[in-house]
């Protein structure tokens, strides 16, 4: 990878050296990364374009505490240096730790890595940005606390980073933003705010309802700091799931491609009536197979895998064309009743194969997907990178889908057709959350192949455009298309983005915090907006 740093826009090398010297005096020289190998982690490891310098950082800073963050902000405001905050920077497939605006200084909060408090009775934790899902899980296990975390696909990411991006997991607490309660935020002007009940200056944390009751008094702000560039989140409360007495992990394999519609409709009923309360996952055959073996076992060609190869693979592996993976949690007798209801609901679907495994409370399932549903972080999602051989990478297209079988079938066929046109397999699935589904399609490519990487990026753009024409929008986007995605939310000539920019300019007049994140550009850098 070409890891040459670039200068902040409009800044001379001499001036930037002076700025870096000021940063060094705040965080100490070892905590300023200026180039070479030290800066590599701040480039996008999965860049869907030929030249990773489009999102190159100028340097990275690793502050130790809030005072250092505030001092950094003073320098950044005075010198007009754009900062890009990351917690652990594992936002792979959406840009990693790389900034939207080339030449930004990455503010890496990984050294703020304390689990500040956990309350087992009221089932919450208060964490700093550098705490990963593995860390929090380890903390709970070491202390024998009967609480579960809700891991996202890759457990090494930050709890705060994932929650702020509105990531999701697989247990009953799968909607991470919904399980968030209370934040401490450093604003661009250095002010430190605690949201909700944290605004009570009680002088003690005892009896605090900061991590219990979200709204507080007056306007609520927490959501304003998700997928935004309005502040630097330094603490966050989150609700944890009390460890259940028992659980069941089920898989139902469906034989046919067009079963997707009935799966989605049936699952919606089961979720809305409360039989299945977690984020159930509907995986396409290829995604299911990728957790078992590489593509070349069934097809070594260049274009998309043909239907005959997919059918052979399905038979070989004993998997479905669609595979529904779900969990039931609670008292064993309730679980048994729920499982009967699930089986009855899917019984009318011909050739569906039901499998289930039962666990007592403290038991640990094997296999990454099952472990995630049991609140155990894993890295098994990275197996997908082996699907096409070589050094795998992926970018994700993530449209929101109504939990309606017709919409799911429509999105599926739209994505599959367009992906095939660009030479990609439909590697995808749906995570179901009651009224909506997160449809996630991954364009898997070999990262050393610039042509393939660019093609993956082009496909993403085509998919976003197709989806918009059909009335769908993405919930998250790679750096490359943050502006394009924002422009698609175009009601009343882009009133939403105008509002976002008004708030941005009020909170961050110098535009130092994450310019361009989610398409929100501060006045100071607005001319840098651009989408391909
Ligand atoms: P993860 O490692 O969990 O995937 P990242 O640390 O890469 O998460 O964060 C994902 C994105 O969330 C970042 O690119 C940034 O835009 C935003 N972000 C992360 N941490 C913070 C924070 N503490 N304050 C404000 N924004 C943040």
Give the distance (Å) from ligand 1 centre to CA of residue 362: 32
Rounded to whole angstroms, the Cα distance separating 119 from 156 reads 23
56 C-beta closer than 6 A to ligand 1: no
Residue 382 has pLDDT above 90, yes or no: no
Q: Is the CB of 169 under 6 A from ligand 1?
A: no
In this structure, the number of other CB atoms found within 10 A of the CB of residue 417 comes to 12
Strand partners, 32: 61
Q: What is the pLDDT of residue 532?
A: 45
**Which pair of structure tokens corresponds to residue 496?**
């939403």
In the chain, the N- to C-terminal Cα span, in Å, equals 23
Q: State both tokens at 144.
A: 């024998």
- pLDDT of residue 360 exceeding 60, the answer is yes
Confidence of residue 1 (pLDDT cuts 50, 70, 90): very low
Give the closest residue to 140 by CA, choosing from 170, 115, 158. 115
Q: What pLDDT is recorded for position 203?
A: 63
User: Does the CB atom of residue 518 touch ligand 1 within 6 A?
Assistant: no
Measured CA to CA, the distance from residue 334 to residue 337 in angstroms comes to: 5
Q: Model confidence at 359, in pLDDT bands (50, 70, 90)?
A: very high
pLDDT tens figures, 286-301: 999 988 888 889 998 8
Protein residue whose Cα sits closest to atom 15 of ligand 1 = 86
368 lines ligand 1 (CB under 6 A): no
Distance 159 CA to ligand 1 centre (A): 9
What is the pLDDT of the chain when averaged over all its residues? 94
User: 136 CB under 6 A from ligand 1?
Assistant: no
Q: Which of 165, 382, 396 maximizes ligand 1 atoms within 8 Å of its Cβ, making it the mutation to test the pocket?
A: 165
| Four-way CATH pick for 115-242: 3.30.465.10, 3.40.50.2020, 3.40.50.1100, 3.40.50.300 | 3.30.465.10
- Phi, psi (degrees; rounded to nearest 5) at 173: -110, 35
Between 383 and 526, the higher pLDDT residue: 526
Please list the active-site residues: 94, 475-476
Q: 472 and 420 in contact (C-beta within 8 Å)?
A: no
Neighbour tally for 197: CB within 10 Å: 20
Sequence-distant (6+) residues with CB within 8 A of 502 are none
Which atom from ligand 1 is nearest to the alpha carbon of 517?
16
Q: Please name the CATH architecture into which domain 486-528 falls.
A: Orthogonal Bundle (1.10)
* Centroid of ligand 1 to alpha carbon of 231 (angstroms): 11
Rounded Cα–Cα distance for residues 83 and 76 (Å): 7
Regarding the beta carbon of 233 and ligand 1, being less than 6 Å apart is answered yes
Please list the residues that pair with 437 across neighbouring strands: 401, 432
Of 65, 79, 64, 66, nearest to 22 by C-alpha is 79
Q: Report the nearest atom of ligand 1 relative to the CA of 152.
A: 3
CATH, range 13-108? 3.30.43.10
Pick the CATH number of 246-481 from 3.30.470.20, 3.40.462.10, 3.40.309.10, 3.40.190.10: 3.40.462.10
180 CA distance to ligand 1 centroid (A)? 15
H or E segment to which residue 471 belongs: none
Q: How many angstroms does the Cα of residue 383 sit away from the middle of ligand 1?
A: 23
Q: What are phi and psi of 311, to 5 degrees?
A: -65, -40
Ligand 1 atom at shortest distance from the alpha carbon of 232: 24
Task: Return the structure tokens found at 110.
Answer: 């990984």
Spatial separation of the C-alpha atoms in residues 184 and 315, rounded to whole Å:
52
Q: Dump the DSSP string for 118-185.
A: EETTTTEEEE-TT-BHHHHHHHHHHTT--EE----SSTTSBHHHHHHTT-B-SSTT-BTTTTEEEEEE
Q: What is the dihedral of CA 438, 444, 447, 452, to 10 degrees?
A: -120
165 lines ligand 1 (CB under 6 A): yes
Share of the chain above pLDDT 90, in %: 84
* Residue 353 φ then ψ, to 5°: -110, 120
Best residue for ligand 1 mutational test, from 93, 153, 157, 164 (most atoms within 8 Å of Cβ): 164
Q: Which atom of ligand 1 lies nearest, measured to the CA of 185?
A: 24
* Domain ranges within the chain, ordered by starting residue: 13-108, 115-242, 246-481, 486-528
User: Nearest 5°: phi and psi at 513?
Assistant: -95, 115
- Taking alpha carbons only, the member of 249, 316, 248 closest to residue 288 is 316
Measured in Å, residue 6 CA sits from the centre of ligand 1 at: 21
Alpha-carbon span 273 to 268, nearest angstrom:
8
Q: Give 515-525 pLDDT, tens digit per residue.
A: 999 999 999 99
Tell me the pLDDT band of 93, cut-offs 50, 70 and 90: confident
The reported pTM is: 0.96
């Amino acid at each position: 990878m070409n890891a040459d740093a670039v200068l902040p826009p409009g800044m001379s090398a001499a001036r930037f050296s002076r700025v870096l010297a000021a940063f060094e005096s705040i965080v100490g020289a070892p905590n300023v990364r200026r180039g070479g190998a030290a800066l590599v982690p701040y480039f996008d490891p999965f860049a869907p374009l030929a030249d990773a310098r489009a999102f190159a950082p100028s340097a990275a800073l690793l502050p130790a505490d809030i005072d250092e963050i505030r001092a950094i902000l003073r320098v950044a405001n005075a010198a007009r240096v754009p900062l890009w905050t990351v917690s652990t920077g594992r936002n792979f497939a959406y840009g990693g730790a790389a900034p939207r605006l080339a030449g930004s200084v990455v503010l890496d909060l990984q050294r703020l890595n304390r689990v500040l408090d956990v309350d087992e009775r009221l089932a919450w934790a208060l964490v700093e940005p550098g705490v990963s899902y593995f860390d929090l899980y380890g903390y709970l296990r070491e202390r024998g606390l009967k609480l579960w975390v809700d891991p996202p696909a890759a457990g090494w990411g930050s709890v705060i980073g994932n929650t702020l991006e509105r990531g999701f997991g697989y247990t009953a607490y799968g909607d991470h933003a919904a399980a968030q309660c209370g934040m401490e935020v450093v604003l661009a002007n250095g002010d430190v705010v605690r949201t909700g009940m944290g605004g009570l200056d009680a002088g003690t944390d005892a009896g605090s309802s900061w991590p219990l009751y979200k709204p507080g008094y007056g306007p609520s702000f927490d959501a304003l700091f998700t997928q935004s560039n309005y502040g630097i989140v330094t603490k966050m409360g989150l609700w944890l799931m009390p460890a259940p007495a028992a659980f069941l992990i089920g898989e139902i394999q469906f034989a046919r491609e067009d079963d997707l519609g009935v799966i989605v409709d049936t699952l919606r009923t089961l979720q809305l009536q409360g039989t299945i309360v977690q984020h159930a996952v509907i995986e396409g055959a290829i995604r299911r197979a990728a957790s078992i073996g590489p593509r070349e076992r069934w097809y070594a060609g260049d274009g998309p895998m043909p239907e005959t190869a997919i059918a052979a693979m399905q038979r070989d592996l004993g998997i479905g064309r669609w595979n529904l993976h779900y969990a039931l949690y609670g008292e064993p007798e309730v679980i048994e009743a729920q499982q009967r209801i699930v089986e009855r609901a899917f019984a009318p679907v011909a050739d569906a194969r039901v499998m289930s495994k039962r666990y007592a409370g403290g038991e640990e399932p094997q296999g990454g997907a099952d472990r995630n549903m049991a609140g155990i972080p894993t890295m098994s999602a990275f197996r997908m990178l082996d699907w096409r051989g070589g050094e795998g990478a992926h970018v994700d297209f993530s449209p929101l889908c109504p939990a309606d079988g017709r919409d799911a079938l429509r999105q599926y066929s739209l994505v599959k057709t367009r992906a095939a046109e660009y030479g990609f397999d439909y590697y995808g699935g749906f995570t179901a959350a009651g009224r909506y589904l997160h449809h996630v399609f991954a364009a898997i490519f070999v990262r050393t192949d610039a042509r393939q990487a660019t093609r993956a990026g082009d496909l993403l753009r085509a998919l976003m455009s197709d989806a918009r024409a059909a009335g769908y929008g993405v919930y998250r986007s790679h750096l490359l298309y943050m502006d394009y995605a924002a422009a698609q939310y175009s009601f009343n000539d882009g009133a939403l983005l105008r509002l976002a920019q008004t708030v941005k300019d009020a909170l961050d007049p110098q535009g130092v915090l994450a310019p361009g994140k989610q398409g929100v550009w501060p006045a100071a850098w607005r001319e840098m907006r651009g989408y391909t």
